């Protein structure tokens, strides 16, 4: 690791070791907070490990709720990192419920699309992909929306501990190939595990570097 990378990782570790607090839940755009800090959004299919990853990122056990009731989580949840906030984490509602009613899917699309298209403060999105499965059909909606809205994003593999390192390398390389074909995607893939802590320091550094 270069000295610059080590410094970036240490700066990010310090930031996330400081105060992190829940700010608000926005069920629609009129409830968004004033954009006083840069925002980094987290998206992913339900059960991908998003809550676990957010909790690992901030080193707390119960910041993001691990509730997965279809239709209940159609909100953007904002968390302040630092006091006053240096940045905000935005937990976007999970997608891809097998039994989600059509109007819930529609509501998800409106909320997410409005936010992605209209938010200057949004600096980057992180799209979580289960390392066991790679990018699936269910993920293409959000990737297309991010590309169309020209929001820069990065793909993050979750649950890396669940597969062998050789399989992980293969999925990461396949995912990187897919990312290279998408205009707003960062070409490098992060592999993480909330259980073992793999990739969490790098993820923190990636979040901090995204705000410039």
From residue 49, alpha-carbon distances to 55, 73, 130 in Å are 10, 15, 8
75 binds ligand GDP (CB under 6 A): no
Interface pick for ligand GDP out of 132, 133, 162, 182 (rule CB under 6 A): 162
Question: What is d(CA 160, CA 158) in angstroms, rounded to the nearest whole number?
Answer: 5
First to last CA, the chain: 20
Question: What is d(CA 180, CA 55) in angstroms, rounded to the nearest whole number?
Answer: 29
Report whether 121 contacts 41 (CB < 8 A).
no
- Among the listed ranges 23-31, 104-112, 154-162, 182-190, the one in contact with ligand GDP (CB under 6 A) is 154-162
Per-residue contact string for residues 6-45; x = within reach of ligand GDP by CB under 6 A? --------------------------------------x-
Cα-based angle 158, 161, 166 (whole degrees, multiple of 5): 100
**Residue 190 CB, nearest approach to ligand GDP (Å):** 13
- Among the listed ranges 32-40, 119-127, 134-142, 191-199, the one in contact with ligand GDP (CB under 6 A) is 191-199
- Among the listed ranges 74-82, 148-156, 178-186, 192-200, the one in contact with ligand GDP (CB under 6 A) is 192-200
3-state secondary structure 117-170: HHCCCEEEEEEEEECCCCCCHHHHHHHHHHHHHCCCEEEEEECHHHCCHHHHHH
Interface pick for ligand GDP out of 12, 40, 48, 111 (rule CB under 6 A): 48
161 binds ligand GDP (CB under 6 A): yes
Q: Applying CB under 6 A, which residues contact ligand GDP?
A: 44, 46-52, 66, 68, 94, 158-159, 161-162, 193-195
């Amino acid at each position: 690791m270069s000295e610059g990378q080590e410094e970036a990782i240490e700066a990010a570790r310090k930031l996330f070791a400081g105060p992190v607090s829940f700010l608000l839940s926005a069920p629609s755009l009129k409830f968004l907070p004033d954009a006083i800090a840069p925002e980094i959004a987290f998206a992913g299919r339900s059960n991908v490990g998003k809550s676990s990853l957010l909790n690992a990122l901030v080193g707390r056990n119960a910041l993001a709720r691990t509730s997965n009731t279809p239709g209940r989580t159609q909100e953007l949840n904002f968390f302040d990192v630092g006091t006053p906030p240096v940045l905000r984490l935005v937990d976007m509602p999970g997608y891809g419920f097998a039994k989600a009613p059509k109007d819930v899917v529609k509501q998800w699309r409106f909320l997410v699309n409005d936010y992605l298209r209209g938010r200057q403060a949004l600096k980057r999105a992180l799209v979580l992909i289960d390392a066991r499965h790679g990018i699936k059909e269910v993920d293409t909606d959000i990737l297309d929306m991010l590309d169309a809205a020209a929001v820069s994003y990065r793909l993050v593999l979750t649950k890396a501990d669940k597969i062998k390192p050789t399989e992980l390398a293969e999925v990461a390389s396949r995912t990187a190939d897919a990312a290279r074909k998408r205009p707003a995607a960062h070409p490098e893939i992060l592999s993480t595990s909330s259980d073992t802590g793999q990739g969490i320091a790098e993820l923190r550094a990636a979040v901090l570097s995204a705000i410039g």
